[in-house]
Amino acid sequence: MPKSADPERNKIEAAVVRLLTQKKKTLALAESCTGGFIASQITNVPGASGIFPGGIVAYSNSVKGKFLGVRKTSLKNFGAVSENVAREMAEGARKKFGADFALAVTGIAGPTGGTKSKPVGTVFIALAGAVETVVEHRVNRFAREKFKEITAQQALELLLRQCNDL
């Protein structure tokens, strides 16, 4: 099949696997609000096992603490859906899996659970690398499944932007 006709070539997850493979880098995941959606997308790409050692779906605060090293004080002071917690999740996943990069997502998928300061659709996406951790704040006001899809795409786009700068 010609390269341009290959549907996998146009998918963001295929681009991520291809780029990390070329750069000989690995990616770990820490997912909360996406519930493993990003891991599913990555592992749908042939060759993903070469760049993806694993991930953690940390839906509860206790799992965020126990497996990712998120501090109780961060959860208490900022809440599970915060820049601080997203940062700690990404850094914890990177360390836990010994990966070059780690993506973390934490947010409110809805339809309930939002507040005035953190409405439904609020999400924090963190990317930890060797030099720094970058966190983006988004508000994705979509139905639950679309929220997960859009959030996953935004996380993978963040990774691609950062990796292209290497």
**pLDDT per position as a tens digit, 34-78:** 999 999 999 999 999 999 999 999 999 999 999 999 999 999 999
Can you give the pLDDT at residue 164? 77
**What confidence tens digit (pLDDT) does each residue in 133-157 have?**
999 999 999 999 999 999 999 999 9
Q: What is the DSSP letter of 120?
A: T
Q: So what CATH class is 24-164?
A: alpha beta
CB 123 within 8 A of CB 106: yes
Q: What is the DSSP letter of 7?
A: G
Domain ranges of the chain: 24-164
Dihedral, CA of residue 127, residue 130, residue 133 and residue 136, to nearest 10: -30
DSSP letter string, 20-47:
HHHHT--EEEEESTTTTHHHHHHHTSTT
CB 135 within 8 A of CB 87: yes
